[in-house]
Amino acid sequence: MKRGNTAIQDKWRHILREHGQSGLTVPEFCQKHGHPIHQFKYWNQKLGKERPDLRFVPAVSKGEVSSSHGVSDEGLTLEVGKARIRIRSGFDRALLLQAVRALGADE
């Protein structure tokens, strides 16, 4: 592999990591940081396979949801292991992502 390609891949690994920690959608992140969205998607697909830190976990509803948007007036409680996180309207997406990652780091 050429040295230039390694530098570009490292740059995009860093950008993809920043996006993952930002809590922003891809279009929001690309607009905020001036990255062309088509390049972001290309590198995300190309390098995304290298990211074993991302995984799906099951979500189970333990009660009835009363709002048309999927969250009751009291909010939503997310359980990660023994921890419970109360999520209410207007929550900070980046903070929630950091908390969930920190709680799942031991697994």
Q: Could you tell me the pLDDT band of residue 34, with boundaries at 50, 70 and 90? A: very high
In the predicted model, what is the mean pLDDT of the chain? 75
Which residue, among 33, 40, 34, has the nearest Cα to 12 in the 3D structure? 40
CB 39 within 8 A of CB 46: no
At 39, the pLDDT band (50, 70, 90 cuts) reads very high
Q: How far apart are CA 75 and CA 36, in angstroms?
A: 35
Could you report the per-residue pLDDT of 68-98, keeping only the tens digit for each? 555 455 778 777 667 778 888 888 888 887 7
pLDDT for 47 equals 85
Domain boundaries, the chain: 3-50, 55-107
- What is this structure's pTM? 0.48
